[in-house]
Structure 1
Amino acid sequence: MTLKQFRNKPVVKIITNKYVLILGTFIVWMVFFDENSWLNHREFNKEIEKLQSEKEYYKSEIKKDDALIKNLDDKEELEKFAREEYKMKKENEDIYIIQYDTLEKK
């Protein structure tokens, strides 16, 4: 097969068309090298998804804290919370803290 016969094939004519070459170069540039490339967009989308999941987590934590704050309006609940979380006590009262050993003994 000579070079002239090779150039006359339809696939080679399409590939060597100047518009196809320019379009191919443009696509490669936009996907890999441009500031707004597809790779950057993919990275930004992953970051957006991560931030949205964090947003949902913090919203649920805020709801839990709001429920706790409403619950602590009651004086007895506030006293119970202070005793359990901060080991507070009343005057003339002894508190015994029991800790369980979680390590296995050999």
Structure 2
Amino acid sequence: MSYFTNIIDKYPILKILSNRFVIVLIFFAIWMIFLDNTSYFDHRVLNKELEELEVNKKYYQDEIKRDEEDIKRLKNPDQIEKYAREKYYMKRDSEDIYIIEYEGDTIHEEQSKTKSL
């Protein structure tokens, strides 16, 4: 017993750490940070996922606004014809269309995407 009192006298921090309330508090903190289902690390992962979902939400809201503007423009028959000519390379019966592709051109990339679908 005197050995333990000598150690506690030599290191006063051990007196504080040997208190049962401190021991329970340390155990509780370790449990909540590392082991619990709602641990700190799980919350960090969930917060990162939430941030990614918010970024995706913003992106899709912007896409919806852009599509709504396109729909408003396409109510005009001239705009429908222009859109069909540019996007789907449609033509009138008496016309010939020549598509000139350059390296890295987006037209080539769009065609390869539509073919793979």
TM-score by length of 1: 0.88
Whole-Å separation in 1 of the counterparts to 2:43 and 2:4: 43
Deviating 4+ runs (over 6 angstroms): none
Question: Which runs of 5 or more residues in structure 1 are unaligned?
Answer: none
In 2 relative to 1, CA 57–101 (structure 1 residues): closer, same or farther, beyond 3 Å?
closer
Residue 97 of structure 1: CA displacement? 1.3
2:6 matched to which residue of 1?
A: 5
1:51 aligned partner, one-letter code? L
Higher helix share: 2
> 2:75 is aligned with what amino acid?
D
Q: Find the aligned partners of 1:40 and 1:73 in 2 and give their Cα distance.
A: 49
Matched, 1:70 2:59: no
Instruction: After TM superposition, give the deviation of residue 98 of structure 1 in Å.
Output: 1.5
Give the Cα separation in 2 of the matches to 1:100 and 1:12. 76
Residue equivalent to 1:98: 100
What residue number does 1:45 align with? 47
Compute the displacement of 1:41 (Å).
0.6
Amino acid at match of 1:75: P
**How many residues were matched structurally?**
101
| 1:54 and 2:82 correspond | no
Shift of 1:30: 0.7
Q: Counterparts of 2:27 and 2:85 in 1: how far apart (Å)?
A: 70
Among candidates 27, 30, 33, match of residue 28 of structure 1 = 30
**Which runs of 5 or more residues in structure 2 are unaligned?**
105-117
The two structures, once aligned, show a CA RMSD in angstroms of: 1.3
Distance 1:99 1:5 in 2: 87
**2:114 aligns to what?**
none
What is residue 88 of structure 1 aligned with on the other side?
90
